[in-house]
Structure 1
Amino acid sequence: MKIWEMNSDHDSYVLADNPEADDLIRSIKNDEHPLKDWNGIYLNLLRKGKEKDYIGYLPGATIISEYAKQALTAQIGDEAEFLFILDRPIHFLHVLKRIDCIDIDRTERTESGLIKSSERVHFIREKIPVDTLIFKVPEIRTSVYVTEKFINLVKQANLTGFVFNQVWDSKLTEEKDREKHLKYTAVLADIEQNKGDEIAYRIAREQVNQGLAFASGKWKMQLDSKGNFWLGDLTEDCVYSWIMPTFIPPVLLGYQWHVVENSEIKIK
């Protein structure tokens, strides 16, 4: 599965500022409920480009031609509705479908937890129904996402002004996952193949207090520069996730441990 972000062509004509209409559109474009009492609005049209079926406007607010509405209506179902604009044959495409499908763990975020870019997100494929055409996600209010089925509708109808920027491909994600797992497996194998004599946890723990580092499979234990004890868990990214444990998982007490080089302990 592939996902694209939808935008308007840079040379499409655009809608001029209309504060009253802008405020109304901003208030409803993130609403996932149909607007049954819609009475229409006026939008000022600034002909600053070519007349196309996708008209430039506010981020996340899609304005389309009457022809585009006719071409999309039969297939789009309840994923979106068309809200008429007064005084001209254009429509606001109000996307209703919301899918909570962002893979937060894979998506790059700021320190405050916000997603850095709508173009560099990861999706959870299983959460996106196979018949999906167009949707939004809760975390990014200004982006409209589409699938290949929607793009095919646009192409079949020869609609103009639509720009699709591919942001995700499940096959590439799966390939990266396989490569990551192979690398992780190789690192683990290297740890096991180059180990020396193995000793019980109790003895290894005593020697850790003397400044040595010990590993057993994906686990590692050592002291930091201040003499604090840390337990590391090798992640799929081939870096250790370090914790200062309040207790040792009982299963580790039965493992055999061998000496390894000390690591630089980095805490996020």
Structure 2
Amino acid sequence: MEDSATMRLYKLDSAEEFAWVESATDEDSDYFRQIYGDASRRADDWVAPHFILRTTLGRQNLRIPDLHSRVTSDMFLNDRARAVIEPVAREDVEFLPVCLGDEVIWFMHVVRVIDAIDLEHTERDRSWGSIDPRRWAFREEAIPAEVAVFRLPPNQRFIRPYIYTEGLVNTILDAGLTGREFQLIWDSDLDTQPFVPPF
């Protein structure tokens, strides 16, 4: 990346007014959990797990989003969202089908791994044996300019292992895709990085 360019990195947040997906059975949940820390491509042996859509929270009816969530870091896409994201992120992810009732949505499986964390300067808490940063620090030179999204190495045990770049975030926002929000966690121009509250 050129010295004059600003790099901004984001984490994924849920948007509360939207429906979310969850595994239909314990077997589907166990199958899906196997790949959470796995960055290897899975399309060749993937068997689509079954999910269900949760559209109510108490008495509040929730809107159907373009970008579904399951846990904080995961993203599930409808066909419209995939068409927007795939041209930007195709080298960094694979799209794996998930059965949602009679429909198919897509799990965006992040396969690009970059060891880009500056652990010495990252302010972090540990929760359940995992790292949950309050202020992130990255080694900018480790992140290629063309990257849209990447995951941190699984052995580092970050609670939020997926990092989204400004290019992908702007693509999603400009297209008006609904269902997820993004929080700035690092800006190369800032001396003091944003404080990230516990999830």
TM-score bin, normalised by smaller chain = 0.7 to 0.9
Name the structure, 1 or 2, with higher relative contact order (CA <8 Å, separation 6+): 2
The structure with the largest strand share of the pair is 2
CA drift of 1:152 comes to 1.8
How far apart, CA to CA, are the structure 2 residues paired with 1:141 and 1:107?
Answer: 14
Matches within 5 A, 1:168-247: 168-173=186-191
Alignment of 1:46-195 (within 5 A): 46-48=54-56, 49-86=62-99, 87-109=102-124, 116-138=131-153, 139=156, 140-173=158-191
SS of 2:98 mapped into structure 1: strand
So what's the TM-score if we normalise by structure 2?
Answer: 0.78
Tell me the equivalent position of 1:25: 32
The corresponding residue for 1:7 is 13
Note if contact 2:19-2:64 (Cα within 8 Å) is conserved in structure 1: yes
With over 3 angstroms needed to count, the CA separation of the structure-2 counterparts of 1:79 and 1:99, relative to structure 1, is same
Please show how residues 33-52 of structure 1 align to structure 2 within 5 Å: 33-35=40-42, 36-48=44-56, 49-52=62-65
What RMSD in Å do the two structures reach over aligned CA positions? Answer: 2.1
Cα shift at 1:17: 4.8
TM-score, normalised with respect to structure 1 = 0.59
**Alpha-carbon distance between aligned partners in 2 of 1:170 and 1:150, rounded to the nearest angstrom:** 17
Q: Flag structure 1 segments of 5+ consecutive residues without an equivalent.
A: 177-268
What is the deviation of 1:72? 1.3
Cα shift readout 1:186-228 (whole Å, capped 9, x = no counterpart): xxxxxxxxxxxxxxxxxxxxxxxxxxxxxxxxxxxxxxxxxxx
Unaligned runs of 5+ in 2: 1-6, 57-61, 193-199
Higher helix share: 1
CA–CA separation in structure 1 for the residues paired with 2:118 and 2:131: 13
- Is the 8 Å Cα contact of residues 14 and 69 (structure 2) preserved in structure 1? yes
Decide whether the 8 Å contact of 1:29 with 1:95 is kept in 2. no
Poorly superposed stretches of 4+, deviation over 4 Å: none
How many residues align structurally?
Answer: 173
